[in-house]
Amino acid sequence: MAKEISSELLNTILTRVGGPGNIASCGNCMTRLRLGVHDSSLVDPNIKTLEGVKGVILTSDQVQVVFGPGKAHRAAKAMSELLGEAPVQDAAEIAAQNKRQLKAKQTSGVQQFLAKFATIFTPLIPGFIAAGLLLGIATLIATVMHVPADAQGTLPDALNFMKVFSKGLFTFLVILVGYNAAQAWRHGRQWRNYCRTLFARL
């Protein structure tokens, strides 16, 4: 295939995907021209037989025409000019769009529960890791150096501080989980007001 993708080829592709009226978006990744379509039944899968096209991948709402590295961007730019669209979407925008579409399709109860579960506990994972490391290091040092539980001095004080800090997360675990749960179910303001009232009474 020539370095420049011909307008004749792009016009043929445009015709076989249902015409300009069937195009919802135009973008590209490293190797593929990505055309979002309104009606996938209008797409002719024989696009892959066109000279210069290395393959075609069809989904329910998108046609991916494989051109190869360096050619997909030129094809998307030229196709965008044919459609009179705004600047071509890059790979990051396409990934964000696909993520939103996938999220919209998560309609089952199990999927919704797992999504909420991840929203609640994922932000707490770094804290759990840090708390576990601090507690493990403090316990290891105390064991190796034979530091008594009632010992006094800089080292025992430092170890006690590490243990208190590491156990603090687990002490306030219920509050942290409750706060994240309120955020996940869109009740963040009510939960913040409750926390202020709770801490004001302590």
Sign of CA dihedral 104, 61, 36, 91: positive
| Selected catalytic residue, list 29, 137, 141, 176 | 29
Strand partners, 194: none
Nearest partner of 5 among 42, 50, 35, 49, judged by Cα: 50
195 catalytic residue (yes or no): no
Q: How far, rounded to the nearest angstrom, does the alpha carbon of residue 178 sit from its chain's CA centroid?
A: 24
Instruction: Please tell me the distance from the alpha carbon of residue 134 to that of residue 149, in angstroms, as a whole number.
Output: 17
Nearest partner of 9 among 48, 40, 52, judged by Cα: 52
CB 67 within 8 A of CB 34: no
Structure tokens at 194: 């409750």
CB 58 within 8 A of CB 45: yes
Instruction: Please tell me the distance from the alpha carbon of residue 148 to that of residue 144, in angstroms, as a whole number.
Output: 11
Amino acid identity, position 125: I
Active site (catalytic) residues: 29
